[in-house]
Amino acid sequence: MKDMRTVITGQLPASPPPPSGEFGEVRIPAPPTPLSRERLLEEVRGATAIVSTLNDRIDAEVADAAGSGLRVVANVAVGYDNIDVSALQDRGVIVTTTPGVLTDATADLTMGLLLSVTRRLGEGERLLRSRAPWTFELGFMLGTGLQGKTLGIVGLGQIGRAVAHRARAFGMNIVYTSRRRAPEQVEETCDAVHLSFEELLRTADVVSLHCPLIPQTRHLIDAQSLANMKPTAYLVNTTRGPVVDEAALAEALSAGQIAGAGLDVFEHEPEVEPRLLGCDNLVLSPHLGSATKETRNAMTQLAFDNVRAVLRGDDPLTALP
């Protein structure tokens, strides 16, 4: 192990134990993070293992900078749109992610955004903090109830299914669309009906995005998709920002083309489309989907476990195919 080197690209939660000697030399760059491209390339030189976050673009250039000894990249995320998987696998590098452990936290936040935008909680808090005068009236700040409404889930993977179960507890009906239709048992468990993407947009009272970011899903929600939604419908995005065309969404919200939206992720993080910030019918959170202490610790530990397995010569727990 003495010739091995593990580079951890970002600041990780403190709770998991630091990697032991079996990780070889452990390098954790000093702040500031995320690392600039130039600094990332410098830090990974000679790395046997890289523990990365979604802020890091890990591609052929990074693999070549690390050198021929690079064996594993453990991404502390369930998604891997920041990684050129083919380029790494072509060089014999194993790529792992952290699925499963963040499902509940992300599903919980999805429901939080859904409730916040439909019940106008963000607007209400801003009103109180502004110290504007108000009084209880029967017609004051009326929102929309969820009972009997239809939730359209785009991507019925682990997180999509967890959202479906939560939404059913609120009395919602579930429809979904996916690149591949879910097994019948999954549909029955979620009480979900499969629709085409276009039909889902026309049907759903809330559209919740849980698909991965791939070329086919970039700007999946564009001006045309928004025009196909009900004017009373809401959009929630807790997957990846570029799945939504933010400029088109800002236009739709400003024009009242849809009722509202809740966003946890953004097209050009950490920047947010300026026109969105002026939309009262929008709830925003700064990429908090997996941001619980328990979840982030579990994600970090799973990444460490994957590195440990590869460096021992064992099969990793959650490698990409």
Which residue among 5, 71, 120, 240 is the active-site one? 240
Residue 125 annotated to the active site:
no
Going by C-alpha positions, the residue among 297, 286, 299 that lies closest to residue 113 is: 286
123, 250, 311 from 127: Cα distances, Å: 6, 22, 55
* Nearest Cα to Cα of residue 109 among 279, 291, 270: 291
The residues facing 193 across adjacent strands are 175
Would you call 42 a catalytic residue per the annotation? no
Of residues 25, 61, 251, 269, which has the active-site annotation? Answer: 269
CA distance 188 to 85: 34
Catalytic residue among 27, 91, 287, 294: 287
| Residues 6+ positions from 222 with CB-CB distance below 8 Å | 245, 248
Q: Does the annotation mark 268 as catalytic? A: no
Tell me the one-letter amino acid at 113.
Answer: L
Instruction: Name the amino acid, one letter, at 48.
Output: T
Cis geometry, peptide bond prior to residue 34 (ω within 30 degrees of 0): yes
The residues annotated as belonging to the active site are 240, 269, 287
